[in-house]
Amino acid sequence: MRNAFIEALAEEARRDPRVVLMTGDLGFGVFEPFMRELGPQFVNAGVAEQNMTGMAAGMALAGKCVFTYSIANFPVLRPLEQIRNDVAYHHADVRIVAVGGGMSYGSLGPSHHATEDLAMMRAIPELLVVAPGDPVETRLAVRALVRHRGPAYLRLGRAGEPLVHTSEPPFELGRAITVREGSDVTLISTGGQLRDTVAAADVLAGEDGVSARVLSMHTVKPLDEEAVLAAARETGAVFTIEEHSVIGGLGGAVAEVLMEADERPQHFRRIGLRGGFTSVTGDQEFLRAHYGLDTAGILQTVRSVLAEA
């Protein structure tokens, strides 16, 4: 996703001189071509995420469309006050970009895990929250965010994520992508969990005879309430899958919609991290497996819930 992000942003920056990329002193391995070609539209703010966010707000209020970039939770937790008061309160055209969402930086431990960010960003007024599912969605999200007016948060994986989409699907901020149709259950994924979610749906169809609808909920705020309610009405079970705490993220957002609409499927389950910081060490794939977020873990949860019927 990281490479798809910078390639798409460079394309937009060539067309639109308002576009500025600001980094917290990292990412140079992929940023060098952007720096060479579009130097005046690149700023290294140093290891100072709070200053970076404040500078971005000022530039945006002067007419720029600024993308701030750092890893994991650093562009979220350190400058949270600046995001709320400088960016969101002033409805500034700043896009806070976090690379390494979830446990992408697995072996570096909880200090480098972004597992509460969706909840925090959802709670800030005016802020759009976007977590694309693969490199194709990442490119489409960047294009859409350049045209969007107002602040946004863009949560990316790290690098090397596989393509899920073989072609560009219809993409609109706030509208889920139906990756596959299904009538028995619905699997709603956000961010880098899309690959494992689709793989689980394939196994359910082939081994269990379960028709699974898959929704890529690339925009967590505003949520596609229509797609969520349709899933509850048309399928017997709804599962949300996210590499994030089950508190306040995608699962919480979906639950809020279902409860307030008084629309409940026979089964509903949030698949995500449940309490506490990660207590084991390993890379992202190892940690996903440990916490039941890989294909096998998703299947185990879905099968156990369906067996309760």
Catalytic residues: 49
Calpha distance 44→42 (Å, rounded)? 7
The full DSSP string for 179-225 is EE--SSEEEEE-GGGHHHHHHHHHHIIIII---EEEEE--EEES--H
Calpha distance 191→209 (Å, rounded)? 27
Please count the other Cβ atoms lying within 10 Å of the Cβ belonging to residue 209.
Answer: 8
Helix (H) or strand (E) holding 53: helix 49-61
SS3 167: coil
SS3 143: helix
Q: Which residues pair with 185 in a beta bridge?
A: 212, 237
Q: 285: which 2 tokens?
A: 């794939």
Nearest to 165 by CA among 200, 138, 187: 138
Helix (H) or strand (E) holding 141: helix 135-147
> Under 8 Å CB-to-CB from 226, ≥6 apart: which residues?
none
The total number of residues shown for the chain amounts to 309
